[in-house]
Structure 1
Amino acid sequence: MAWTRHHVLSLADFTPEEYDTVLQTASSFREVLSRRTKKVPTLQGQVVANLFFEPSTRTRSSFELAAKRLSADTLNFAPGSSSLTKGETILDTAKTYLAMGTDMMVIRHKEAGVPRAIADEMDRLGVKVGVLNAGDGQHEHPSQGLLDLFTICSLLDANTPRLGLLQGRKIAIVGDILHSRVARSNIWSLTASGAEVHLAAPPTLLPKEFADFVTEDGLPRKLVVHWSLDPALTDADFVMTLRLQTERMTDHLLPSLREYHQQFGITRDRLRQCQPGVKVLHPGPVNRGVEISSDLMDDPEFSLISQQVTSGVAVRMALLYLMGGGKVG
């Protein structure tokens, strides 16, 4: 399909055709990354600005490497050494990078809505600058949702990863769903595939309102909420565990990390309830021994965590390529 999306801010309105376009494009770039020469000239002459207003290791490094593999020039923003410390506004910062000739902006911020505000400002100015949300508050993290989708679909069909492969599959998402932008993006993408998504967490980390989360667009989506782990894991094909975001918890939402692990931590024994061949994902960073046992995290028989990191570069190359209008070389 012809790609018409100028910004990637959320997966809530992604169509099945757009998902498949990203998956197929990422598959092409995965092949590029397997070559001896891993660089292609698709975005040569374009400038990608990584504006990360909060700390990040995987996402920032992945976007920077993706842009460089596409031969784009990169600008990296660090808030601690920027004019924000002198009172400059976020929109003024974005317009400064615009004046430097930026073609695409990758935005990460602790407050929800900042990437959209910058995208709206670019549109108001009438400039063709694409904005990609690299995670905003408790809203969404679209590229993480897409790389998780790509990781799973590539496991099921390495040559032709596509959305329809997940039709009827059971996928459990376990952990701090309340604070997770990753969970929100994955809920949109996985339910769009026809998968049956089960959420599991303590009630303090999983409000009952999540049961109505995917009814906004009127599409038939399957989402089930559990306040205990066993029903979510039973016969699951994939288990996605999430980090406890203690830095975002202003109240005492958990008795202790030890008790959380006893009730919701993913271990080898607990995976026996799942389908044979079950695979485990985690977006990182991981609190070893809390969300997932350390031995399970490092076991390639079950863990897809390293594949997620590798998939991230290919998927982010695909997004930058589609938004930048390049050609695979």
Structure 2
Amino acid sequence: MNPPQPHDLPHLLTLEGLPRATLDALLIRAQSFADGHYDRRALDAVAVCTLFFEPSTRTRMSFSLAAQRLGADVLNFDASTSSTRKGETALDTFKNLEAMGVRGFVVRHSQDGAVAALAGHANPGTVLVNAGDGRSAHPTQGLLDMLTLRQAKGADFSRLTVLIVGDVKHSRVARSDLHALRALGAGTVRVCGPAALLPGEDVLRGCEVSHDLDAALEGVDAVMMLRLQRERMEEGLVGSLEDYHRGYGLTAARLRRAAPDAVVMHPGPINRGVEITDEVADGPQSLILRQVANGVAVRMAVLEALLKG
């Protein structure tokens, strides 16, 4: 299958509303890249900038590696050492880099909708990829999670029961995973977490919602854990790390409630001993490092679809 063409996908800002055919095509192309089949000159002489206004390890490095493997020229922007420290706006930074001939921008920002706002000012031929904005979306994380799940469980998601656990309310990863799972026809999607960390019905549409992790784990095929953002403790949404782990931490004993061949996922960074124990994170059912590896392949597929041609 040919990858989606740029005119079909002018930017990648969110997975919400994208047709299943587009997601399937990206996932199939990403699997080809994961298998080592790609053209190292596909983006020859194309300039790609990782424009990050928030810290990142996995996302930024994998986008850089993805662009390099396709032959692009890669610029890494660091807000802490840039003119943003002097008061330059994100838009001015973006337009100046665009004026230098940068065609592809991978943008992370703390504000909801910031990447879409920049896309609204982009010149024809300039493309943007949302690498995480506020709590809104993290589309390539959603895609790499779906690729990992597809590798483990097959392409037919209608047979699966998937559980998302933790701070869904503040998680852009959870939103993109939910968008993707709906588009790909997941059979049952469960969401579990403290009431203070769960969003409204608009986000949880079609999900089975629970505050009891032991009950929610029964028979699931995949458990997608989320990072507990520790600032939630300061806001009074979580009593203590110990209390959170007691109620919502994934342990080996708890995992036995899931299906025998259930897989465990986590977007990272992991708070070990809080949302997941070492035994589970490093155990045979964990796909956490495979998610990291798949991040490169998925981001290659996205950059190729947006920038080739």
Query: Residue 164 of structure 2 contacts residue 174 of structure 2 at CA under 8 Å; is this kept in 1?
Result: yes
Structure 1: gaps of 5 or more residues: 216-221
Q: 2:280 aligns with which of 296, 311, 319?
A: 296
Deviation at 1:296, TM superposition (A): 1.1
Deviation at 1:230, TM superposition (A): 2.3
Q: 2:160 aligns with which of 162, 165, 169?
A: 169
Q: Could you give the per-residue CA deviations for residues 243-266 of structure 1, whole angstroms, max 9, x where no partner exists? A: 001236651111111011111100
When normalised by structure 2's length, the TM-score is: 0.95
- The amino acid across from 2:149 in the alignment is I
Query: Residue 39 of structure 1 contacts residue 68 of structure 1 at CA under 8 Å; is this kept in 2?
Result: no
Q: 1:189 aligns with which of 176, 180, 184?
A: 180
User: In structure 1, what is the Cα distance between the partners aligned to 2:149 and 2:180?
Assistant: 12
User: In structure 1, what is the Cα distance between the partners aligned to 2:152 and 2:159?
Assistant: 16
Deviation at 1:223, TM superposition (A): 1.2
Indicate the residue corresponding to 1:236 in structure 2.
220
User: In structure 2, what is the Cα distance between the partners aligned to 1:83 and 1:204?
Assistant: 38
1:316 aligns with 2:282: no
Query: Residue 191 of structure 1 contacts residue 223 of structure 1 at CA under 8 Å; is this kept in 2?
Result: no
User: In structure 2, what is the Cα distance between the partners aligned to 1:174 and 1:138?
Assistant: 16
Q: Could you give the per-residue CA deviations for residues 158-217 of structure 1, whole angstroms, max 9, x where no partner exists? A: xxxx4xx2113100000111111000000110122221111100011113x1x33265xx
Indicate the residue corresponding to 1:219 in structure 2.
none
1:146 aligns with 2:143: yes
1:213 aligns with 2:196: no
User: In structure 2, what is the Cα distance between the partners aligned to 1:276 and 1:295?
Assistant: 16
Query: Residue 238 of structure 1 contacts residue 280 of structure 1 at CA under 8 Å; is this kept in 2?
Result: yes
User: In structure 2, what is the Cα distance between the partners aligned to 1:148 and 1:107?
Assistant: 19
User: In structure 2, what is the Cα distance between the partners aligned to 1:57 and 1:152?
Assistant: 22
Deviation at 1:39, TM superposition (A): 6.5
Structure 2: gaps of 5 or more residues: none
User: In structure 2, what is the Cα distance between the partners aligned to 1:184 and 1:101?
Assistant: 33
User: In structure 2, what is the Cα distance between the partners aligned to 1:290 and 1:140?
Assistant: 24
Q: Could you give the per-residue CA deviations for residues 241-294 of structure 1, whole angstroms, max 9, x where no partner exists? A: 000012366511111110111111001111111111011000000000110011
Moved over 6 A (4+): none
**Equivalences, count:** 304
Greater shift, 276-285 or 223-232, is seen at: 223-232
- The amino acid across from 2:266 in the alignment is H
Indicate the residue corresponding to 2:258 in structure 1.
274
User: In structure 2, what is the Cα distance between the partners aligned to 1:321 and 1:21?
Assistant: 12
User: In structure 2, what is the Cα distance between the partners aligned to 1:214 and 1:25?
Assistant: 29
Secondary structure in 1 aligned to 2:31?
helix
Query: Residue 233 of structure 2 contacts residue 239 of structure 2 at CA under 8 Å; is this kept in 1?
Result: no
User: In structure 2, what is the Cα distance between the partners aligned to 1:233 and 1:107?
Assistant: 35
1:200 aligns with 2:184: no
User: In structure 2, what is the Cα distance between the partners aligned to 1:98 and 1:197?
Assistant: 41
When normalised by structure 1's length, the TM-score is: 0.89
Indicate the residue corresponding to 1:218 in structure 2.
none
Query: Residue 173 of structure 1 contacts residue 239 of structure 1 at CA under 8 Å; is this kept in 2?
Result: yes
Query: Residue 47 of structure 2 contacts residue 72 of structure 2 at CA under 8 Å; is this kept in 1?
Result: yes
Secondary structure in 1 aligned to 2:144?
helix
User: In structure 1, what is the Cα distance between the partners aligned to 2:14 and 2:231?
Assistant: 24
Which aligned pairs between 1:70-219 and structure 2 lie closer than 5 A? 70-122=70-122, 126-157=123-154, 162=155, 165-195=156-186, 196-207=188-199, 209=200, 211-213=201-203
User: In structure 2, what is the Cα distance between the partners aligned to 1:127 and 1:98?
Assistant: 11
Q: Could you give the per-residue CA deviations for residues 78-128 of structure 1, whole angstroms, max 9, x where no partner exists? A: 111111111111100000110111111000011111100110010xxx421
